[in-house]
Amino acid sequence: MKEFIIHYAHIILLFPLLGFIINGLVGKFLQDAFGKSICGIIASLMVCASFALSLGIFCTLSELDPRSRLFTITLFDWINVGNLHTSISFLFDPLTSVMLLIISGVGFLIHIYAIGYMHHDSSTWRFFAFFNLFIFMMLELVIADNVFLMFLGWEGVGLCSYLLIGFWYKDKANVIAGNKAFIVNRIGDLGFIIGVFLLFWAIGSQGIWTLNFAELKEYSYLLENLYLGNINVVTIICLCFFFGACGKSAQIPLYVWLPDAMAGPTPVSALIHAATMVTAGIYMVTRLSFLFILSPVALGVIAITGAVTAVFAATIGFAQNDIKKILAYSTVSQLGYMFLALGVGAFSAGIFHVMTHAFFKALLFMGAGSIILGMHHEQDITKMGGLRKKMRWTYYTFLVATIALLGIFPLSGFFSKDQILWSVFSSPYGSKSLWLLGVFGAGLTSFYMIRLVTLTFFGRHHHTDKAHDTLHEVHESPKVIIIPLVILAMLSVIGGFVGVPHIFGGSNILQVYLSPVIADAELNHYPMITEVGLMLVVFMCVLGFAYGAYYLYSRKPSRRAKLIERFSFPYKVISRKYFVDEIYQHLFVNNIMRTMRFMARFDMVVVDGLVNFAAFLTRIGAYGNSWIDKVFVDGLVNGIATVIGSLGSRLRKIQTGYIQDYVYVLFASIIFILLFRFMIA
Amino acid sequence: MIKLETFLIVSAILFSLGIYIIIARKNVIAILMGVELILNAASLNFVAFNKYSVPTSFSGQMFSVFIIVLAACEAVVAFAIVMSMYKNFKDINADSATTMKE
């Protein structure tokens, strides 16, 4: 078994690819022949197989010696151009195995959930084909052993995201949202690929032409003192990579696509835009942590961007009414926390939060999906309320996820968020002000989540119009949806225990497991009382904001109206999302469109004019040519034929066919010859 | 004694008459008669030259006999052709047998 995994672990990619091919090619026939569930069952089985193999890989790695927990599988050469030698090869180390477990495990649960969620859709086969393709690309991204191969998966998940956001393509808004996500990601990818080029050039200038992670890590010290002008090359490279991560992981300034991406089906939001794809940026930075650790400037930029995004996105969540949009801003905010962790050098804390966030945020989205189904495709939380009694299972699981997200002991979110905040406080790269921002963000998180839960599940149904009262028709979702919710709720509860901090007598298993791969910054030492005190501060802050939200939205709604009236301008700014979309529209999109229209006109008038003029000249020339051809060339050929013909028709008259004429000529010639001869003689 | 030239002149006259008939007459049988005249002119020459150059030998006369036999054979074949020509064209005019030309 162990031997098999060490040599054939890469077949983990084969299953989702197979599912994609089956569903993509014959899914429609299967759906027509065996019912709608068959496509989902095939897809889920494929992901289940990948999950089983992920477990196998995890166990195999655990059995190895901690210092040599790593194996690579090389399939074949991929690109061999000049100094660039890239192969299709895969790297399996603790970081990879953790990511594999998250992707295939959460992915499997969401696949099952999607069987129920997509049951009424007419083309489930297309959905599951894309879903499996996504899993394939995401797995490829995390097991790639060089930057180029990683970029392949990076682009692949972007493609699947685009395809699935615009899954209901008959509605134009969905297609536009898909385009937005794709284009914004493309801007980030520009940073990524420039980073790859710079990295290749920089390390190549030191005599090592490689993009392989292991070799890059070994020789990264060569880059430390490389300068371009006054700026350290590593800083430029890291900032380029971080810009790419900003696009994929929805950080300022490229976060705008993620809220719009909620146009896709809810399982897509849960899997791609909460649990896995958006964490690709965090994975990438962690994978290249040996580079980032060389550049304190880049780390600082990452930490500040992360902290600001965490707070900024959380405030937008205050005034949104679409349940999925609120969760989307929450995702942006939580991704900000992860980057904050990376920025202070606490890479394993970032990965820890990736994991716990995958559990509870996927659960939140799936709960939201269950509510949307129960409410007959109503997403506005102001029209909900009192769902607690109608949808018991959804309510309990949603509540568990909310508490986990708030970071309340002992649910999973507590451990990961606490580790991040503690690292921010005590890391040499961190600072107290960043910590304060982080705590403030945690408070804001608790405010908008309690607001969401209060408006959705508590109180009475807000819709007073009896004619449109849908509450009595609200129904709990089927088992196929509830069971994944319950499993994820359990994971959200216990998931944090892999990273129990030292002061609770734990021995942060995850950090130890990841330590051979990730170089976490050494934390400064503080007395134990400080750590406990800070925890209490965070806890009080979270509780305070939570109570505030409960008070305003459940106990005294009248106060809320007054408050909104009083701060009407800030409220408006927040509810319009700080006008960021409008600003981008004005600054970038409009200018680009204007340039584009100008170029189009230039193309039509000048370029097309030149081409058409050239065509016109050619036609004139061709007419001349054909005239010469007809008159001279054809004339010569026909002339020769005519001359020979007329000559022949004259000559044939000699041949009379009368034997006597021939005899006459014969003897006349003889006589002539004889006379001639005698006359000469 | 008659001189050799006398024979040759008679033979030349015969030959010329034969040629003239072949060229001038349209009737196939007449043309055949012209051919006979030419053959006879030739055999007259053979006999005359044999008599004046090698009197002891008879090879000239032998040639004449062969020519006469040949002429008989030729007449047989030619008349057969004339018969079939008459059958096809209802005519024994040499000019009317022109189907080969086309």
Quick check: A667 and B101 CB within 8 A?
no
Percent of chain A at pLDDT > 70 equals 98
How close B1 comes to chain A (CA, Å)? 30
Strand residue runs (E) in A392-528: none
| For range A580-599, the mean pLDDT | 90
CB atoms within 10 A of CB B46: 19
A462 has a pLDDT exceeding 60? no
- As a whole number, the mean pLDDT across chain A is 89
Same domain membership, residue A457 and residue A333: yes
Alpha-helical (H) ranges within A35-87 are 37-63
Q: Are strands A84-92 and A227-228 parallel, antiparallel or unpaired?
A: unpaired
Rounded CA separation A418/A308 (Å): 18
| For range A482-510, the mean pLDDT | 86
Inter-residue contact A449 to A413 (CB < 8 Å): no
Band of residue B102 on the pLDDT scale cut at 50, 70, 90: low
Same domain membership, residue A564 and residue A589: no
Question: Residue with structure tokens 């800030």?
Answer: A570
- Closest chain B residue to A660, measured at CA: B23
Residue A667: its chain B contacts at CB < 8 A?
19, 23
Rounded CA separation A143/A93 (Å): 9
Cβ-nearest to A667 among B19, B31, B98: B19
Secondary structure percentages of chain B, helix, strand, coil, to 5 = 80, 0, 15
Same domain membership, residue A530 and residue A641: no
Q: Are strands A84-92 and A231-232 parallel, antiparallel or unpaired?
A: unpaired
**In Å, what is the CA distance from A254 to each residue of A117, A189, A246, A287, A436?**
30, 11, 6, 21, 24
The verdict on residue A234 lying in a domain is no
Percent of chain A at pLDDT > 90 equals 59
pLDDT of res. A388:
83
Residue A655: its chain B contacts at CB < 8 A?
101
**In Å, what is the CA distance from A393 to each residue of A1, A113, A266, A274, A560?**
40, 14, 18, 21, 30
**In Å, what is the CA distance from A362 to each residue of A140, A264, A365, A519, B88?**
21, 15, 5, 29, 112
Same domain membership, residue A413 and residue A311: yes
Cβ-nearest to B98 among A657, A660, A667: A657
How crowded is the C-beta side of A369, counted as CA atoms within 13 Å? 30
How close B36 comes to chain A (CA, Å)? 16
Lowest-pLDDT range of A124-128, A335-339, A572-576, B63-67? A572-576
A484 has a pLDDT exceeding 90? yes
Same domain membership, residue A558 and residue A604: no
Closest to A356 in 3D by CA, of A569, A126, A106, A159 = A106
pLDDT of res. A178:
93
Q: Which amino acid is at A264?
A: G
pLDDT of res. A435:
92
Long-range contacts of A39-42 (CB under 8 A, 24+ apart): A39/A124, A39/A125, A39/A127, A39/A128, A39/A129, A40/A111, A40/A112, A40/A114, A40/A115, A40/A118, A40/A124, A40/A128, A41/A115, A42/A128
Quote the tokens at residue A252.
């300022």
Rounded CA separation A158/A192 (Å): 13
Is the CB of residue A662 less than 8 Å away from at least one CB of chain B?
A: no
A658 has a pLDDT exceeding 80? no
Quick check: A660 and B23 CB within 8 A?
yes
Band of residue A659 on the pLDDT scale cut at 50, 70, 90: confident
Lowest-pLDDT range of A261-265, A578-582, A601-605? A578-582
Same domain membership, residue A455 and residue A376: yes
The verdict on residue A517 lying in a domain is yes
The verdict on residue A171 lying in a domain is no
How close A633 comes to chain B (CA, Å)? 36
Residue B94: its chain A contacts at CB < 8 A?
658-660
- Backbone dihedral region of A582: left (phi > 0), alpha (psi from -120 to 50 degrees) or beta? alpha
Band of residue A132 on the pLDDT scale cut at 50, 70, 90: very high
Same domain membership, residue A444 and residue A406: yes
Same domain membership, residue A588 and residue A571: no
The residue out of A575, A592, A620 marking a domain boundary is A575
pLDDT of res. A470:
54
Band of residue A467 on the pLDDT scale cut at 50, 70, 90: very low
**Chain B residues with CB-CB distance to A under 8 A?**
19, 22-24, 26, 31, 94-95, 98, 100-101
The verdict on residue A111 lying in a domain is no
- Closest chain A residue to B20, measured at CA: A664
Rounded CA separation A91/A366 (Å): 32
Closest to A393 in 3D by CA, of A327, A481, A492, A453 = A481
pLDDT of res. A609:
93
Quick check: B94 and A664 CB within 8 A?
no
Rounded CA separation B40/B75 (Å): 14
Is the CB of residue A657 less than 8 Å away from at least one CB of chain B?
A: yes
Quick check: B101 and A657 CB within 8 A?
yes
Question: Which residues numbered 498-557 in A keep a CB inside 8 Å of some CB on B?
Answer: none
A200 has a pLDDT exceeding 70? yes
Same domain membership, residue A507 and residue A415: yes
Question: What are phi and psi for residue A523, nearest 5 degrees?
Answer: -85, 145
Residue B22: its chain A contacts at CB < 8 A?
660, 663
- Closest chain B residue to A653, measured at CA: B101
Band of residue A622 on the pLDDT scale cut at 50, 70, 90: very high
**SS3 state of residue A657:** coil
The verdict on residue A37 lying in a domain is no
Inter-residue contact A114 to A529 (CB < 8 Å): no
The DSSP line for A213-248 is HHHHHHHGGGGTT-EETTEEHHHHHHHHHHHHHHHH
Q: pTM (2 decimals)?
A: 0.77
The DSSP line for A296-338 is HHHHHHHHHHHHHHHHHHHHHHTT--BHHHHHHHHHHHHHHHH
Of residues A630 and A503, which shows the higher confidence score?
A630
pLDDT of res. B26:
86
The verdict on residue A228 lying in a domain is no
Quick check: B94 and A658 CB within 8 A?
yes
Inter-residue contact A439 to A541 (CB < 8 Å): yes
| For range A90-108, the mean pLDDT | 94
pLDDT of res. A466:
46
Question: What are phi and psi for residue A120, nearest 5 degrees?
Answer: -90, 0
Rounded CA separation A646/A632 (Å): 21
| For range A359-377, the mean pLDDT | 91
Band of residue B101 on the pLDDT scale cut at 50, 70, 90: low
Quote the tokens at residue A621.
């020339």
Q: Which amino acid is at A537?
A: V
How close B34 comes to chain A (CA, Å)? 12
> Where do the structural domains in chain B lie, given as residue ranges?
27-91
Residue A663: its chain B contacts at CB < 8 A?
19, 22-23
The verdict on residue A653 lying in a domain is yes
DSSP class of residue A208?
-
Cβ-nearest to B94 among A655, A660, A664: A660
Rounded CA separation A235/A230 (Å): 11
Residue-number span of the structural domain to which A617 is assigned: 581-660
B7 has a pLDDT exceeding 70? yes
**SS3 state of residue B34:** helix
Adjacent-strand bridge partners of A470: none
Same domain membership, residue A518 and residue A651: no
Quote the tokens at residue A210.
């490689």
Rounded CA separation A100/A53 (Å): 9
Rounded CA separation A44/B2 (Å): 137
Residue B35: its chain A contacts at CB < 8 A?
none
CB atoms within 10 A of CB A332: 25
CB pairs under 8 A between A and B: 20
Question: How many independent structural domains does chain A possess?
Answer: 2
Closest to B45 in 3D by CA, of B64, B62, B58, B26 = B64
Rounded CA separation A281/A336 (Å): 11
Cβ-nearest to A659 among B19, B24, B94: B94
Rounded CA separation B67/A524 (Å): 146
- Give chain A's end-to-end CA distance (angstroms, integer): 122
- Closest chain B residue to A663, measured at CA: B23
Quote the tokens at residue A544.
């305070």
| For range B13-38, the mean pLDDT | 91
Residue B26: its chain A contacts at CB < 8 A?
660
Is the CB of residue A658 less than 8 Å away from at least one CB of chain B?
A: yes
| For range A308-337, the mean pLDDT | 92
The residue out of A550, A575, A600 marking a domain boundary is A575
Band of residue A344 on the pLDDT scale cut at 50, 70, 90: very high
Quote the tokens at residue A569.
């301008």
Band of residue A11 on the pLDDT scale cut at 50, 70, 90: very high
Inter-residue contact A345 to A485 (CB < 8 Å): no
Q: Which amino acid is at A544?
A: G
Lowest-pLDDT range of A129-133, A245-249, A594-598, B87-91? B87-91
Quote the tokens at residue A478.
């089927």
Same domain membership, residue A384 and residue A476: yes
The verdict on residue A370 lying in a domain is yes
Rounded CA separation A602/A578 (Å): 37
Band of residue A512 on the pLDDT scale cut at 50, 70, 90: confident
Lowest-pLDDT range of A26-30, A133-137, A244-248? A26-30
| For range A651-662, the mean pLDDT | 80
pLDDT of res. A472:
59
pLDDT of res. A504:
77
Rounded CA separation A106/A138 (Å): 13
A509 has a pLDDT exceeding 90? no
Same domain membership, residue A399 and residue A363: yes
